[in-house]
Amino acid sequence: MPMSAMVYTHDLTMALPCERLSVRTSRRELDRLLRAAGWAPLDVERALLAVTELVANAVVHARSDVVVRCRVGGHLRLEVTDTAGDAELRARSVTPEHMDGRGLSLVETISSRWGVERGPGTKTVWCELAPAEAGLADTG
């Protein structure tokens, strides 16, 4: 379905400061949003992993306040915008000895799509996750 045709039933936007606590805040609020939308626990966990990686990257590497936007319909579209618009963003090659550097590779693995959009002085890293197996939990 083209993005313009997607109907989102739940929407959340958060402006968060450049601090590690913002990762926890984004996880907590996304968890609430997805559970209200009826997502199954394992699908919620995948989404929480994605938001953790994207927000942590913006806070730690871009050293920026962030805006997190979460839109839920048949899938989740997660967007994290920072003010490091010209910063390079790439998945790194890592070995088992590396302590970090796996964030974007994880996001790529658990997402159906992901990408980067640049605006004047900003960078938005986004990903889309579909619930596994037709997947919304029975909220019945």
Percent of the chain with pLDDT over 90: 64
Q: Give 90-101 pLDDT, tens digit per residue.
A: 555 555 564 455
Of 132 and 127, which is predicted with more confidence? 127
In whole angstroms, give the CA distance from residue 116 to residue 63: 17
* pLDDT at residue 136, rounded to an integer: 45
Q: Give 46-58 pLDDT, tens digit per residue.
A: 999 999 999 999 9
User: Which whole number is the average pLDDT over 63-83?
Assistant: 94
At 101 the three-state DSSP class reads coil
Going from N- to C-terminal start, the domains of the chain cover: 8-129
Give me the torsion for CA of 17, 74, 38, 21, rounded to 10°. Answer: -10
pLDDT band at 35 (very low <50, low <70, confident <90, very high): very high
* pLDDT at residue 140, rounded to an integer: 37
> In this structure, which amino acid lies at residue 94?
V
In whole angstroms, give the CA distance from residue 80 to residue 27: 13
Percent of the chain with pLDDT over 70: 76
CA atoms within 13 A on the CB side of 118: 8
Which CATH number is 8-129's, of 3.30.160.160, 3.30.1330.10, 3.30.565.10, 3.40.50.1000? 3.30.565.10
Of 100 and 82, which is predicted with more confidence? 82
